[in-house]
Chain A
Amino acid sequence: MGMGNNKYQNRRDFVRKTGKILVAAPLVFIPAMLAKKIDAKGYVWQIDPLKCTTCGQCKTHCVLTPSAVKCTHKYEMCGYCDLCGGYLRQGVRTISTGAENQICPVGAIKRVFIEEPYFEYTIDEKLCDGCAKCVRGCLDFGNGSLYMQIRHDLCANCNECSIARACPSDAVSRVPVDAPYNIKDRIGPL
């Protein structure tokens, strides 16, 4: 019995040691294999405004309510029009700040008279819920100066962005943390 028991123990020890090497190996090999692919800087999610189709899913698919996606304004591209496609609904009778005339469902766009005939449009981010209706209007009838961006003070930076998953045009992708915004400089793809 003593002998047999002893042999049994040895076999167990052998299995245990082999197993230990087998489970320890990946812990060494995986970092070694990934050594060239490691990025120390880190990434955040961002929308490519040139790919965005303004489908409105940014508003509904973000894990946060309201969405971390907001409309932003590239003022240098804006025409400062009186008849603004991003501010006024199509076919309005009067050009005024009346709620019934606004395209924004939450009244987040402020229209301010600058000088004849220019008006400045700014987004109140506290109100904006990321529905992209104004962005579509501006793309269709304006210079495309309004566009959607993920706000990094709000974004939870999920490992897999729910909006990226839902985005039909693959416009949401990881960007380096030191260049976290895709600032728009032209209306469409060249």
Chain B
Amino acid sequence: MLAWHMVVIAQERFPRPEFETDYTYPEYQLPAARHAAWEYIDTGVLILVLSVTTWLALKKRSRQGLVWISLFSLGYFGFFREGCICSVGSVQNVALALFNDGYSIPLTALLFFIIPLVYALFAGRVFCAGACPLGAIQELTGIWPKKLPRAVEATLATIPFIYLALAVLFSATQSQFIICRYDPFVGIFRLNAPYTMIIFGALLLLAGIFINRPYCRFLCPYGVLLNITSRFASRHLSITPAECINCRLCENACPYNAILPSDLEIKNEEPAVVRRKFITYLVLIPVFVVAGAVALYILSPGLSGANYDVKLAREIRLEMKEGIPAASNAAIAFKGSGRTDEQLFTAETEIIERYRKGGPWAGLFLGLSIGIGLFSLAIRTERTEYRPHKGKCYSCGRCFKYCPVKPKTEST
């Protein structure tokens, strides 16, 4: 019956009535979409919030101010604008637009992608501190911070890189937007969501009471881009307003392990040992790069299952070969659509081919990131002060109050 109404010739089975009374057709119930101007207001608010956050974190050095601005962002970008569009998800719009011709990217999506990165290049991750509603909800609920062992932290911190690589691969191949699909807090912002979403968000928030910002640290794919960009920031929040006196009071201030300690008291290693480590890890970088590229090339047919056409083609092929009936809604719709099996299988081959092309690049990025990450463990940076790790620091300002040093202007 389904097939029947798909192919039915376009005609009215029952003639339109000719009313004898003065009956008029009611109006359609088609409410208008939200005005497009809102998107530009959002962009304006984003720039404003980022500027205020930069001022609060770098100049004013006010943790309280940062809490208020993140409360505002949580209210505006979170509960009022209901979490869409956000910078985290915009990564996928950009990837989709870069690698596909049929898709025009909304201007706001592009701006939401670029603007926080530009701020990161000049002032560090101020986006995370003040503008991101996902960051804000976690920052405000992280009330009892406990530190994770560094090894656990470093291992978990590789997940966002994998998440980012897969998200870009999946969106560039028009498969799906996994970042949006597994956004933990958007359901809370809308006060309406499938229960799985609510459970995931609630679990993260519960964990976040002790392990602050679990999503930002161990999942957020946009955080990876901010992390990389922020490392080269011209200016950045500092722990001390003037000269660090190495008092060690801030040592345990950061729940994110993002304070780089001064190494005044650490003994220098043997130069020969340092050199050997340096060379080993340098050589390991290309090894990781090649391994990553090869691994993702091999995995790409498997990963292509994230694409709906590939999934459907596999179901249909299973029916043809093994006689297992293809009974999913997609299969039923496909059978009624007039699309031939050959067309579907050609589409499948093309998509797998795209995965084969894109996969190695994703693997290369992963290998390079992990390789450089390990390499950076082997190089010693001489530090005579305690300072934030520019990549990891969210500019949240929790460390300000631990520093006993007064700003220079106040000293006599």
Contacts and interface: CB of A to CB of B under 8 A. Distances in A.
Interface of A: 16, 19-20, 23-24, 27, 30-31, 33-34, 37-44, 53, 55, 57, 63-65, 70, 72-81, 114-115, 118, 120, 122-123, 125, 139-144, 149, 151-153, 155-160, 162, 165-166, 168-169, 177-178, 180-181, 183, 186-190
B25 A75 contact: yes
Given A20-B232, A140-B5, 6 more contacts: A27-B118, A37-B97, A39-B105, A118-B19, A168-B329, A177-B33
Contact of A79 (B14, B177, B329, B337): B14
B19 A114 contact: yes
Given A38-B104, A181-B30, A31 B110 contact: yes
A75 B117 CA distance: 51
Contacts of B19: 114-115, 118
Interface in B1-16: 1-2, 4-16
Contacts of A44: 33
Contact of B28 (A72, A152, A166, A169): A72
A74 B204 CA distance: 46
Interface residues of B, number: 80
B277 interface: no
A152 B28 CA distance: 14
A-B residue pairs, 6 tightest by C-beta: A79-B14, A160-B177, A168-B333, A152-B33, A153-B31, A169-B333
Contacts of A160: 92, 176-177, 180-181
A187 B26 contact: no
Given A27-B118, A34-B110, A115-B19, A65 B192 contact: yes
B98 interface: yes
A64 B190 contact: yes
21 contacts: A20-B234, A27-B114, A27-B118, A31-B114, A40-B106, A41-B36, A42-B107, A53-B336, A63-B197, A72-B29, A77-B16, A78-B16, A79-B16, A114-B19, A152-B34, A159-B84, A159-B93, A165-B176, A165-B308, A168-B332, A188-B6
B94 interface: yes
B155 interface: no
A169 B337 contact: yes
Nearest to B10: A186
B144 interface: no
A39 B84 contact: no
A122 to B, nearest CB: 6
Interface in B226-241: 228-229, 231-232, 234
Interface of B: 1-2, 4-17, 19-21, 23, 25-26, 28-34, 36, 39, 82, 84-85, 89-90, 92-94, 97-98, 103-110, 113-114, 117-118, 121, 176-177, 180-181, 186-187, 190, 192-194, 197, 228-229, 231-232, 234, 308, 328-334, 336-337
Most central of B108, B118, B180, B331 by chain A CB within 10 Å: B180
Given A53-B333, A63-B192, A156-B190, A76 B16 contact: yes
A23 B121 contact: yes
Contacts, number: 198
Nearest to B25: A75
B12 A187 contact: yes
Contact of B334 (A37, A43, A158, A168): A168
B31 A152 contact: yes
A57 B333 CA distance: 12
A187 B9 CA distance: 8
Given A152-B32, A165-B176, A177-B36, A140 B118 contact: no
Nearest to A21: B232
A181 B28 CA distance: 11
Contact of B2 (A53, A79, A141): A53
A40 B43 CA distance: 12
Nearest to B113: A30
B333 A143 contact: no
B106 A39 contact: yes
B8 A188 contact: yes
A24 B11 CA distance: 59
A72 B33 CA distance: 16
Nearest to A70: B29
A187 B8 contact: yes
B12 A72 contact: no
A157 B34 contact: yes
Contacts of B234: 20
Contacts of B13: 79, 141-143
